[in-house]
Amino acid sequence: SAHATGSTTAADLVVVSNRLPVDRSPEDEQWRPSPGGLVAALEPVLQSTGGAWVGWPGQPDLALDPFSFDGMELVPVELSAEDLELFYEGFSNDTIWPLYHDVISPPAYHRDWWEAYVRVNERYAHAAASVAAENATVWVHDYQLQLVPRMLRELRPDVIIGYFHHIPFPAYGIYSQLPWRTQVLEGLLGADVIGFQRVADAGNFARAVRRRLGFETKAGSIRVPTADGSVRTAIAKAYPISIDASVYDELARRPDVQQRAREIRESLGDPDVVLFGVDRLDYTKGIGHRLKAYGELLADGRLDVERVTLVQVASPSRERVAAYMQLRDEIELTVGRINGDYDTVGHTAIRYLHHSYPREEMVALYLAADVMLVTALRDGMNLVAKEYVASRVDGDGVLVLSEFTGAADELTQAVRVNPHDIEGLKDAITAAIEMPVAERRRRMRALRRRVRDHDVERWSRAFLTDLDEVTR
Ligand code: G6P
C-alpha cells in the first residue's frame, strides 16, 4: 500500500502516461490497478529499474505529493473536472480516439478541447521535466500526450525522449481531417524514438510527416530540422507490445484458479461449449458484430442454447462520453433481446457482465472458455488475445481473432476473421466450435510459443535499447 515520501529524487528513467498505474477510488480512497493494457505492460519495467511514473491519479481535483508504491515512485498530475471534460473526455476520447480508429464513430473537432489538450500536455511535460535526472531517459505514452515530446525537449534538451503510441495511427486520408494535424506531428517528432504497434502504423506516420512537413524519411529514419539550423534523426518503428506471459501461466497452473474455472462452467449449467468475449465497453471492439453473428447462429438453429453459452464481460469505460453511453444502450438492448428470445429456464444465451474483474478471475474465465472471441473493428494490439493464449496451460482452446487488431500480425495461428463479414464470422465461430482437438492443440502450441517468446520484457527492452543508442 501507499506511503508518501515527501520529496522526489531525480529519476534516470521516467514514464509519463495519462493515468498512473493505480487509480484512487473516490468511495473508499483505496488504490486499485487502473484500466487498460498500459499498466500491465509497464509495471514490470519500472519496478525493475526503480524509476518514476508521472500520471493522473484517477480522480478529479486530487492534489497529491509524490509517493512510492510497489517499488515505483509515483508523481501525480492534478486534473480538474474541467480538464477531464475537455482534455480527457473531449479531445483525447472524442476527437483523437475515434479519428485514429478509422472514424468508426465520428470525431468531434472543438477548438476549446484542443486548447485544453495543449494546456494539460504542458502540465505533464513540466512534471516530467522536474522529476527527470540530468541526461535521464523519459518514456512518454499514448495518444493523450502527443505534444509532450516536443514540449519536454524544449524544457530539457539534455534528456533522451521516447514515445510509444498504443493505438493505431491512421492512413493520411483520415489523419488529415484533424485541424491540428501539423502541431500533433511536430509534437510527436520531439521524441528521439517514436514507437508504434504495427509496421503499418509507423508507415502511416512517416507518410503523414512527408506530406505535411516535407521532411525526408527513409526506412524509419526521419530527418528533423532543428531550431539552430542543423538536422537530427528521429526513429519511427514498430514495437508490438505484449504481456508478462509468465504471470498468466503461473496463475493458470494454480489449483484454486483451475477449481474456479470448473465452478464457472458449472454455474453456467455445464454447457458443452463456452464462448467468451472480454472488452472495455468500447465501439472499437466490435461487440455488436459479435452479438449479431451469435444471435443469428441461434436463430438459424446452428447453435443451441442448451449446449452453448456466450459469456461477455464488458468492463465499464469512459462512461461520460456520449458515444460510449449510446454504445452501452445498444449492446444492452441487443443482449436483452437475444436472451429474451433464446433463453430457457435453465440456460442463458448470453451471460452479460458489466464489470471488471481481478486477474485471477480473468484467468479462470480464460480457462473456462472453449472459444475466445476477439472481433475488434480496429485495435492497436489487443492484449486480451495474448492473455487468453498465455492462460491456456492445458494447450487447448481456440482463438477467433479479427484481422484489424495489431495482434493479428503476430498470432497467425488464430482463426482469422473480418468482423464486418457477418456470414464469415458465423462460419468462423462454428468452425472454432467444431475444430478437431488435434488441430486446436497444434494451433495453440504455436500461439503459446509466440506469446512466450515475445513477452512484454522483450518489448520494453527493444524500445529502450533503441533509445539507448540515440546520441545527443
Ligand atoms: C487503451 C488506451 C490507454 C487507456 C486504456 C483505458 O488501452 O491505449 O491509453 O489508458 O485504453 O482507457 P481509459 O480512458 O480508461 O484510460
**Which pLDDT score, from 0 to 100, does residue 70 have?**
83
Grid cell for residue 277:
468475449
- Ligand 1 closest atom vs CA 88: 14
Question: Is the minimum distance from the CB of 167 to ligand 1 under 6 angstroms?
Answer: yes
Measuring from atom 11 of ligand 1, which residue has the nearest CA? Answer: 36
Cell of 266: 458449472
Matching residue, cell 467444431: 434
CA of 318 to the centre of ligand 1 (A): 9
What's the angle, vertex CA 456, arms to CA 184 and CA 98, rounded to 5? 35
DSSP strand pairing (398-402 vs 415-417): parallel
Cell of 99: 479519428
CA triple 432-435-440, angle to 5 deg: 95
Question: Which pLDDT belongs to residue 472?
Answer: 63
Angle between helical axes of 437-453 and 245-253 (0-180°, round to 10): 130
A 10 A CB-CB count for 412 gives: 12
The one-letter code for the residue type at 292 is K
The total number of residues shown for the chain amounts to 472
Tell me, what's the pLDDT at 127? 98
Whether the CB of 198 sits within 6 Å of ligand 1: no
Give the residue whose CA is nearest to atom 14 of ligand 1: 318
CA angle in degrees (0–180, nearest 5) for 211-90-93: 70
The CA distance from 88 to 70, in Å, is 26
- What would the grid cell of residue 94 be? 472524442
Cβ of residue 37 lying under 6 Å from some atom of ligand 1: yes
User: 249, 463 in Cβ contact below 8 A?
Assistant: no
The pLDDT of residue 332 is 98
Strands (E), 335-443: 350-353, 371-374, 398-402, 415-417
Which residues are known to be catalytic?
166, 379
CB neighbours (10 Å) of residue 365?
22
What are the DSSP calls for 376-388, one per residue?
-SSBS--HHHHHH
CB atoms within 10 A of CB 166: 21
Q: How far apart are the CA of 10 and the centre of ligand 1, in A?
A: 27
Cα 314 to ligand 1 centroid, rounded to whole Å: 14
22 CA to centre of ligand 1 in angstroms: 13
Return per-residue pLDDT of the chain as tens, 472 residues: 333 344 457 899 999 999 998 888 878 888 888 876 567 677 777 877 778 999 999 999 999 999 998 888 999 999 999 999 999 999 999 999 999 999 999 999 999 999 999 999 999 999 999 999 999 999 999 999 999 999 999 999 999 999 999 999 999 999 999 999 999 999 999 999 999 999 999 999 999 999 999 999 999 999 999 988 999 999 999 999 999 999 999 999 999 999 999 999 999 999 999 999 999 999 999 999 999 999 999 999 999 999 999 999 999 999 999 999 999 999 999 999 999 999 999 999 999 999 999 999 999 999 999 999 999 999 999 999 999 999 999 999 999 999 999 999 999 999 999 999 999 999 999 999 999 999 999 999 999 999 999 999 899 999 999 999 987 6
Ligand 1 centroid to Cα of residue 315, in Å, is: 12
At residue 398, φ and ψ (nearest 5 deg) are -120, 130
- pLDDT for the residue numbered 34: 83
pLDDT attached to residue 2 = 36
Single-letter amino acid code for the residue at 94: D
Alpha-carbon separation of residue 471 from 131, 135, 224 (angstroms):
22, 11, 14
Does residue 142 line the site of ligand 1, with CB under 6 A? Answer: yes
Using the structure block, give the residue that is written with the C-alpha cell 515520501: 5
Amino acid at 43: E
Contact 398, 422 (CB under 8 A): no
Q: Is the CB of residue 19 below 6 angstroms from any atom belonging to ligand 1?
A: yes
Give, using CA atoms, the residue closest to atom 12 of ligand 1.
Answer: 36
